[in-house]
Amino acid sequence: MNVLDGLLVVIGLGSLLWGSYRQTVGMLITWLGFYLSVIFAGTVVLLLESTYGVGANLARSLWGSPGSFRPIQAMIFLVLGTIFFVVYEVVSRMIFPNPGIPELGFLDNLLGGIIGGALGLAAMAILGNLWRVVVSASWQPYDLWVSLDAIYRTSILPLHLRPVLVIFNKTLLPFLVFQFPAVLVP
């Protein structure tokens, strides 16, 4: 187990605990926010990718071969998706401060934990794949890239989470019609 595996486990356990705290309805609201943040960030990355061709041709004619855009795409996806999700969570907590179902009692927390665990698996799969995209092409500083690449190559969980990403991708309807951003391609 290395740093990436540890990070993914912390995300999974954190989502499970957050789901138990947020309860069933709250976690359904959180799932919607996660889904929308992935759609939003993926759409922005696809739009940037479509304009990259023009910029790459210009850079190629002026300075030679441009670097890979994939690591930049991954970081844009991560930053935009995280910002969107955090803002969504803050607003949803303000609108729905206690969305639990009191009649369910402990079962509400249990169901919320199960939903949180599923959300954690999806987040772990996306983050593991995002790390793969970041190290898919070398970049500067080279020593940092080598370190991150070694971490990815020795990690266990990202490979085992790819089926989760395949299942989650089947729910991303806008990308099924057009194409998936590189971060979501297993």
CA Rg value for the chain: 18
Higher pLDDT, 160 or 71: 160
Identify the band that residue 97 occupies on the pLDDT scale cut at 50, 70 and 90.
confident
What is the mean predicted confidence (pLDDT) over 152-156? Answer: 95
Predicted confidence (pLDDT) at residue 160 exceeds the cutoff of 60: yes
Dist CA 125 CA 149 (whole Å): 17
Confidence of residue 103 (pLDDT cuts 50, 70, 90): confident
How many CB atoms are located within 10 Å of the residue 125 CB?
25
Per-residue pLDDT band for 166 (boundaries 50, 70, 90) equals: very high
Under the phi-then-psi rule, with left for phi > 0, alpha for psi from -120 to 50, and beta for the rest, what region is 167?
alpha
Predicted local confidence at residue 54, as pLDDT: 64
> What value does the mean pLDDT of the chain take?
89
DSSP per position, 120-172: HHHHHHHHHHHHHHHTSS--SSHHHHHHHHHHHHH-SHHHHHHHHHHHHHTT-
Residue 58 pLDDT class (50, 70, 90 cuts) = low
pTM exceeds 0.75, yes or no: yes
53 pLDDT more than 90? no
pLDDT of 67 reads 64
Higher pLDDT, 62 or 99: 99
8 Å CB contact between 100 and 24: yes
